[in-house]
Structures are given as C-alpha cells and as structure tokens.
Amino acid sequence: MPCDAWTLDQLRQKSNVDLWKLWYVLLKERNMLLTLEQEAIRQVERMPSEERLEKVTESMDNLIEVLLEREKALRLLKTGREEEVPGKFLFNVFGQKYYRRFKPYPMPVMMNTSFNKKYWTFPTFVEYYIRLREEKYEKRKFAQAHAERRWWAKMVEKFPNLKDQKTPWEEREEKKQRDKEQRLREIKERDY
C-alpha cells in the first residue's frame, strides 16, 4: 500500500472474503508500523514515513464502515429494521416511557414473578404523580395554544390584511392531514 488509503468506493466493490483478507493484511501492517514507531522512539530517531500509519488506520476505519453498512443492509432485508438489537417502548415505575433493548435471559419474562412485580406494576402512590404530570403537560399545551391565539389576534390588529389568511394552527392541522393522506397512499402503493 505505497500510495493512498483504501477509499470507501474501492472497498464497496470488494467481496466479503476479500475484505476479511484485506483486514488481516492491514492489521499486520499496522502492528508492524506500531512496532517500528516504538523502536524509533526507543532509539530517539524519527520514524521513517510516518504517514503510512495514518493511511493504514484510515483504511481500517473505512473497511469497518463498509462492513457495518453491509450488516445494516442485510439486517434491514431480513428483519425490516435498521437497529442491531430490537426492543420496545415500556413504562418505568413513574409512568415515563423509555426504550428497552431485548436481551437474552435464563427465564422467560412471564414466568419470572419477581421481575414482573418489580417492573410491570405501578405502586399506588405513583399514580397521583403520573396524573399530576399529565395535567401539567396539558396545561402547558393549552397555555401555548392560548398564547399563539393572542399573538395572532395582535398581528391581525396590526395588519388587517391577515384576516383573509389561514391561522398557523389551521395550517399545521392541514399539513398533518396531508402527511397522513400521503402515508396512506404510500402504504396502498406498496407491494407485499
């Protein structure tokens, strides 16, 4: 590898077998260059052609990126999901939503009673705080909508020609509706 580092385009054209062979060649080269660097440090000299190490590490990074792209594409083809480990959204003890990745366990979840008691039930004292949090969220949402309406009324007062135009919240609702219709059209057009 006297010239440049391997680019992503060059690596994408190689087969998996060639990539793994290249990985071991690059690994051997990197180890040799690191040994050479340590020897140069020990003898208090400059390492000959220092840029070789940078090119090798860049090539290795590019190779890893290409392999990850291929794994992601294969996973997307097999499972229809991009994420490596699937999971789902759950609620914690305080009623907040969070994403939990699946892990292998020695016992199925439904048979593990201590786990179910700990993670799948809400203590009675928490329900009050969950309702408070939801109420706070609704109040904030209402206050924002009210502030927006007051702002719009002031704008109409200042610029009377705005009466003919749609309000921002009407535009948002229309956009939501258009997006929903677009998604439905896309689903209908898909071939399964």
> pLDDT value at position 60?
94
Report which of 26, 23, 27, 53 is spatially closest to residue 38, judged by C-alpha positions: 53
Secondary structure of residue 42 in the 3-state scheme: helix
Spans of the chain below 50 pLDDT:
1
> What digits encode the pLDDT tens for the residues 2-53?
568 899 999 999 999 999 999 999 999 999 999 999 999 999 898 888 889 9
Task: Tell me the per-residue pLDDT of 39-52, one tens digit each, with 9 for 90 and over.
Answer: 999 998 988 888 89
CA distance 147 to 153: 10
pLDDT given at position 191: 61
Please tell me the predicted confidence (pLDDT) of residue 75.
85
> Which pLDDT score is estimated for 1?
46
pLDDT at position 2: 54
How far is residue 60's CA from residue 52's CA, in Å, rounded to a whole number?
Answer: 12
Q: Give the integer Cα–Cα distance in Å for 88 and 9.
A: 35
pLDDT at 120: 66
Q: What global pTM score does this model have?
A: 0.49
- The phi, psi pair for 88, rounded to 5°, reads -155, 165
Can you read off the two tokens belonging to residue 5?
């580092």
Question: What's the pLDDT at 63?
Answer: 95
